[in-house]
Amino acid sequence: MTTSLTVLRDRNAGLYLTGVVVSAFGTTSLSLAVGVWVKDLTGSDSLPALCMLAAWAPTFAGPPLGTIADRVRRRPLLIALNLGLAAALATLFTVRSPDGLWLLFTVLLLYGTVGVVAEAAESALVTAAVPGRLLGDFNGLRMTAAEGTKLVAPLAGAALYAAFGGPAVACLDAVTFVLAAGLCALLRVHEERPVRSGAGWSKETAEGVRHLWGDPELRTLVRAGGTTMLLTALSSTTTYAVVDRLGHSPAWTGVLYAAQGAGSVTAGLVSGAALRRLGGRRFAAAGTALTACAVAARALPCDAVVLASAAGIGLGLPCVLVAAFTAVQRRTPGPLLGRATATANTLVFTPNIVGLGAGAGLVELASPALLLPLYGCGLLVTAAALAQRADSASRTATRSPSDANPA
């Protein structure tokens, strides 16, 4: 906790975290309202689901999009991205009928594209603005800030939508992006103008991919992150079936999301200290093992157990993400960091999209009582593999020269 206070007292870290809270509040408010907006405009049950697809689709193009963040200075890029997206959101004031859906989906696709580039630029900028020894604590607090807004923002977005409609929520999100741009402008960080290598776009993109996949530590953590996201996405598709088994209305899922959010907030607060104490692989393994137990426990038809499992997933799942992305920041040279971060994002979060699609079909074929223990076992295997590799790496690191080269 002392180190977390040190992070908060750092001027750049404090400004950046404030920006995270502001922009996450707007994003979370809109993400809930936009589906309801499309539903009200069209009466369709399937079109609202396409809203999330439009926003997530650019994740597949992460590596080439991340190259943008390595070709220019990151702070001016982030300011321009925030202001540009604010202007795009302002155009949604014209969407009043189904005829305007093309504009809404275009803005959502742009939203996702900007998000991919901004995430890559932010990761690189943070390493220049925040001392390296504080990166683990900073990334944990960043997650706490983002997850904390999810406890309030959906209600605020729903209330604003009910009172004034979708354009008002889009306006709120636009204002948060303008504020985030202002906070970014206040950061005190020196950035050299990137030196162009002269290689083509595809070769520059490949450099970032090769670096990420060629580093055993990064490859292990990113691969574990993708597997964990896949299995937890599969488990999340059983949520409504679990609630139905308990005899509650679908609205009770909000209670589960709140419990998971509280767990994620807690995880962010303790991540820095745990990462220093355990190391990246062990920290990720511990979090994945906790997630495995929580996912499997959700199969039990008991309110208290299901609520505790939601909190457990919220506490355990962020561990592998914090471990993986902190390692990317620490083990990647600055000129490659945008591409490496975007590649890691693609490898970690694309399985989440696949899991949501596959899980929606599986839950129609089998009961959560069967599916959830299977998903939990998969997560436990992932955790065991991480822990085994961590032990192997530790033994290798502690071997003496005489052990390595016996006479």
**Alpha-carbon distance values, 77 to 69, 70, 82, 120 (Å):** 8, 10, 9, 11
**Which tens digit of pLDDT belongs to each residue from 375-396?**
999 999 999 999 887 656 555 5
User: Two tokens at 47?
Assistant: 């079109």
Looking at domain 200-391, its CATH architecture is: Up-down Bundle (1.20)
pLDDT of residue 16: 86
Q: Give the model confidence (pLDDT) of 38-56 as tens digits.
A: 888 888 766 776 787 788 8
Give the pLDDT mean for 150-156: 80
Q: In this model, does residue 357 exceed pLDDT 70?
A: yes
pLDDT number for residue 137: 83
CB neighbourhood size of 191 (10 A): 16
CA distance 343 to 113: 14
The token pair at 168 is: 């008002």
Provide the residue type at 344 as one letter.
A
Q: Is the pLDDT of residue 70 over 70?
A: yes
Smallest Cα–Cα separation from 282: which of 327, 338, 241? 327
The more confident residue out of 89 and 404 is 89
* CATH 1.20.1250.20 residue spans of the chain: 8-187, 200-391
On average, the pLDDT of the chain sits at 86
Q: What class does CATH assign to 8-187? A: mainly alpha
Q: Does residue 108 or residue 154 have the better pLDDT?
A: 108
> Residue 218: how many CA atoms within 13 Å on its side-chain side?
23
